[in-house]
Amino acid sequence: MSVANNSNKERVFIFDTTLRDGEQSPGATMTLEEKLQVAEALDDMGVDIIEAGFPIASNGDFEAVVAVAKQVKKARVAGLARAITADIDRAGEAVRHAQQGRIHTFVSTSPIHLAHQMKKTEDEVIEIIARTVAQARNLVDDVEWSAMDATRTPLEFLKRCVDTAIKAGATTINLPDTVGYAVPEEHFRMFKTIIESVPNADKAIFSVHCHDDLGMAVANSLAGVAGGARQIECTINGLGERAGNAALEEVVMALRTRGDAMPFYTDIETTQLSRASRIVSAASNFPVQYNKAIVGKNAFAHESGIHQDGMLKNAETYEIMTPASVGIKETTLVMGKHSGRAAFKDKLKELGYELGDNAFQEAFQRFKDLADRKKHVYDADIVALVDDEVGSVGDRIKLVDMEVVSKTGGTHKCSITLSVDGVESAVTYEGTGSVDAIFNAIKEGVGQNPHLVLYAIDGVTGGTDAQASAHVRLEMNGRIASGNAAEPDTLVASARAYLNALNRVMIERGAAAQGALAG
């Protein structure tokens, strides 16, 4: 537990929806293996409820929820369901494999949703809530009900909905700020009013689920807790639709750091926050912004002379929490090309990784190759190497060989050999620059023409021999996917990142039920 003395504080439960709402971010699709890795990290960290997916959306989503439910040892596992009989049955079937399963069902309640999306009257919605919550409660003991777009719903109708849901068997009531519309003061008042006005409110735990469209998701979440909510729904790195969700690491560290102002605690082991952030960033292929609170690369960096002077005298002058409290260590020189398997395995364990035999052997070989090419190998290099390896598992299209010829004011040409499902083919193509030639050659070799949404390069560490971390986002046939890769050679990193994104965007994913999701 992160806080030493919680005897005078109330517990707040952490509901993580990275695998459901977070994965709805365009381009953030995760493979089953990546979802299981994220779920394991969340469970190890002490997350109370893991929302593993939306079982009715596709067979892949269903199988992912089942797999997470079977793997997770401590947390409750939730599956999302619309207020539709088939959705609820499918969610119940998926979470029955968990030691503690939850069905999370939702229905719209705001006038704008009822008029344009639901096309239902208030009385019809009340009937739907009573019927579907009761159905869910007959399948599991733990039922969460959400009022989609609660913050734009008239309070009197919201009271009726909450009362109906609790009477029908809901054990958790979620009042989400689905479109990120609320401000903290009114969010506080909404929870306080509903909890004080609904006669049987004490029979359920109230929950906040805030989106960050106006940059107030964390503030609104904490205001909701002050108003009586005792569950926060959030995601690692704030991943989520549009501008994202409340960031788990931010709400947890806010409660831990400002316990004087907010007398609440969570059971999250905060020293694992940085590791969870890295795992989710690698799995989703969404890099964390440098100035991201708590887990960003600059979160504990100080460049100003005044700041540096204060830090040297006393770290508390400019740091309200320690890097170690969230699992961030100084970048340290570790090993070289003569380091053996045992030393590498110990270093991986220190960095929070436990790999299977095959994955370890592949990572070790890449480490040795890197050590041959790079003078100094740092912790950050190994993190990038392993995350890159995990993110490329199962890729159908792989880079075999590449040669790039560039000339100032002249031709830029890429000759590339690709392996597609084990069959190699070679192609040469020109471009306006080296990277353009590489991407054109890949498109020609694969026979696909995705739209390049984003391309960025970052240095993993300092120095001219630093690994380049490349980020690519592609769009094709209405699907968006992101890819990352880390290599000492910037052009090779760019090619591998493009291929990683292309592999993902070509994965068929059912999306039949993804048009109307809670939160």
- Are residues 169 and 264 located together in one domain of the fold? yes
- Alpha-carbon separation of residue 352 from 271, 278, 282, 340, 343 (angstroms): 11, 10, 14, 19, 14
Predicted structure pTM score: 0.80
The answer on whether 245 is annotated among ligand-binding residues is: yes
The verdict on 321 and 208 lying in the same domain is: no
User: Is residue 131 in some structural domain?
Assistant: yes
Residue 473 domain-assigned? yes
Paired sense of beta strands 468-476 and 451-459, if any: antiparallel
Q: How confident is the model at residue 391, as a pLDDT?
A: 58
Asked whether residue 459 is assigned to any structural domain, the reply reads yes
284, 310, 329 — which closes off a domain?
284
Looking at the domain assignment, is residue 82 inside a domain? yes
Q: Is residue 139 part of a domain?
A: yes
Residue pair 238/217 in contact (Cβ under 8 Å)? The answer is: yes
The domain in which residue 108 lies consists of 10-284
Q: Is residue 289 part of a domain?
A: no
* 3-class state of residue 383 by DSSP: helix
Using DSSP, state whether 204 is helix, strand or coil.
coil
Distance between CA atoms of 28 and 245, rounded to whole angstroms? 14
- The reply to whether 76 and 167 lie within a common domain is yes
The residue whose two tokens read 């805030």 is: 210
Domain boundary among 284, 316, 339: 284
pLDDT for 30: 87
Structurally, how many domains does the chain consist of? 3
| 46 and 165 fall within a common domain | yes
Q: Do residue 340 and residue 220 come from a single domain?
A: no
3-state class (DSSP) for residue 385: helix
* 184 & 266 share domain: yes
Q: Cβ atoms within 10 A of the Cβ of 228, count?
A: 17
- Rounded CA gap, 202 and 105, in Å? 20
Per-residue pLDDT tens digits of the chain, which is 519 residues long: 334 467 789 999 999 999 999 988 877 878 898 899 999 999 999 999 999 999 999 998 999 999 999 999 999 999 999 999 999 999 999 999 999 999 999 999 999 999 998 889 999 999 999 999 999 999 999 999 999 999 999 999 999 999 999 999 999 999 999 999 999 999 999 999 999 999 999 999 999 999 999 999 999 999 999 999 999 999 999 999 999 999 999 999 999 999 999 999 999 999 999 999 988 988 888 888 888 999 987 887 644 444 445 544 555 555 688 888 988 776 555 577 777 888 888 888 877 777 888 888 888 888 888 888 776 777 778 877 787 766 565 678 999 999 999 988 888 999 999 998 889 999 999 999 999 999 999 999 999 999 999 999 888 777 667 788 898 999 988 888 888 888 888 999 999 999 989 988 876 443 333 434 456
Q: Which residue has 């690709």 as its token pair? A: 418
Pick the closest to residue 150 from 185, 196, 181 (CA basis): 181
* pLDDT at residue 171 in the model: 98
Do 135 and 216 have their domain in common? yes
251 in a domain, yes or no?
Answer: yes
The candidate with the shortest Cα–Cα distance to 390, out of 238, 492, 491, 284, is 284
Q: Smallest Cα–Cα separation from 398: which of 376, 382, 415, 419?
A: 419
Same domain, 229 and 272: yes
Is 230 domain-assigned?
A: yes
Cα separation, 207 vs 173, in Å, equals 6
pLDDT at 308: 44
Q: State yes or no: 484 annotated in a binding site.
A: no
- For residue 191, what is the domain's CATH number? 3.20.20.70
Predicted pLDDT at 468:
85
- Say if residue 191 is in the same domain as residue 332: no
Judge whether 307 is annotated as a binding position: no
Please say which residue of 389, 411, 441 terminates a domain: 389
CB 86 within 8 Å of CB 305: no
Cβ(106)–Cβ(518) under 8 Å? Answer: yes
d(CA 400, CA 102): 46
Does 209 appear as a known binding residue? yes
- Same-domain check for residues 366 and 437: no
What phi and psi, each to the nearest 5 degrees, are found at residue 301? -100, 145
From CA 24, how far away is CA 286, in angstroms rounded? 12
Residues 344 and 426 in one domain: no
Q: What is the CATH number of the domain that holds 427?
A: 3.30.160.270
Residue with tokens 């590489």: 438
Same domain membership, residue 165 and residue 235: yes
Whether 51 contacts 16, CB under 8 Å: yes
- Sign of torsion over alpha carbons 161, 162, 164, 165: positive
